[in-house]
């Protein structure tokens, strides 16, 4: 990232720094920034809860829970400086918990979030406005098992990126955003860059995924036909051998 100096007609490279160097924390800062500006993640999202802990028999808390424009749940997990090696497992666990949330559960969770923030508003109405629907009864939320995952960190370990790429190949919708603070004098800047999948490659990846599905389906069909044909010819040969044996005896 560069700062433009108009007076000298030059660009000045900004210094990338660590969150810890700036004494910026995960919950007090990065989480709050995203909660109040979720479109920094490249799309319109409705944050419906922070530090969500509504899971039975566990004290685990997910950082941010959101809805996308299709009514799908988005689990957002933030890590400053280093993603840690267990962030994918942790986020997948949260997704599994959230997969059971009904429409009424989601509205209640969002209402609690609004009330706690001192916002006088009706959660169902807010959701309808976000999804551009007139009646909450017509709204579909959290359909199926297509919960999305967004991981945000300053650095991603190789074990994390390797797992994420494997999940993408198996149709788990996950994105990784690299968060980098920059400093120029007394001014601070934040750059959020989607690194997995690359935005320009996302459409291509969807196409590849569909192609792979068709190819795998065709391969399974060919394998099934091969087994059936082999079984048919084995039975045919056995029947012919038996008939030949009977003929020779008579």
Domains of the chain, residue spans: 2-197, 199-250
All residue ranges of the chain with pLDDT < 50 are none
pLDDT at 72: 97
In tens, the pLDDT along 14-71 reads: 988 999 999 999 999 999 999 999 999 999 999 999 998 877 677 788 999 999 999 9
Stated pTM of the model? 0.79
pLDDT at 54: 76
| Distance between CA atoms of residues 242 and 244, nearest Å | 5
Cα distance between residue 56 and residue 65, in whole Å: 17
pLDDT computed for residue 8 by the predictor: 93
Q: Which residues contact 27 (CB under 8 A, 6 or more apart)?
A: 51, 63
**pLDDT of amino acid 209:** 55
- At the topology level, CATH places domain 2-197 in Trna Endonuclease; Chain: A, domain 1 (3.40.1350)
Model pLDDT, residue 57? 72
Q: What is the pLDDT of residue 55?
A: 77
- Provide the token pair at 113: 């979030």
Q: What is the pLDDT of residue 216?
A: 53
Please, what's the b/e burial string for 157-187 (b: 16 or more CB within 10 A of its CB; e: otherwise)? Answer: beebbebbeebbeeebbbbbbbbbbbeeeee
Write down the pLDDT at residue 200. 63
């Amino acid at each position: 990232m560069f700062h433009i100096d108009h007076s000298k007609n030059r660009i000045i490279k900004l210094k990338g720094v660590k969150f810890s160097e700036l004494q910026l924390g995960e919950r007090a800062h990065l989480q709050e920034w995203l909660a109040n500006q979720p479109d920094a993640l490249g799309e319109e999202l409705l944050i419906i809860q922070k530090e969500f802990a509504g899971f039975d028999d566990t004290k685990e808390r997910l950082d941010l829970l959101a809805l996308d424009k299709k009514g799908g749940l988005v689990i957002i997990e933030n890590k400053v400086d280093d993603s840690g090696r267990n962030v994918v497992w942790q986020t997948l666990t949260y997704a599994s918990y959230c997969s059971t949330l009904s429409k009424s559960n989601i509205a209640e969770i969002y209402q609690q979030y609004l009330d706690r923030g001192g916002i006088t508003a009706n959660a169902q109405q807010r959701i309808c406005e976000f999804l551009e629907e007139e009646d909450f009864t017509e709204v579909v939320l959290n359909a199926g098992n297509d919960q999305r995952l967004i991981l945000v960190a300053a650095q991603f370990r190789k074990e994390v990126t390797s797992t994420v790429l494997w999940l993408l190949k198996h149709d788990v919708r996950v994105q990784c955003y690299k968060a980098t603070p920059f400093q120029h004098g007394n001014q601070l800047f934040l750059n959020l860059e989607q690194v997995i999948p690359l935005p320009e490659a996302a459409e291509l990846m969807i196409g590849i995924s569909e192609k792979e599905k068709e190819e795998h389906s065709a391969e399974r069909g060919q394998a099934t036909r091969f087994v059936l044909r082999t079984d048919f010819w084995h039975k045919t040969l056995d029947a012919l051998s038996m008939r030949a044996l009977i003929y020779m005896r008579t």
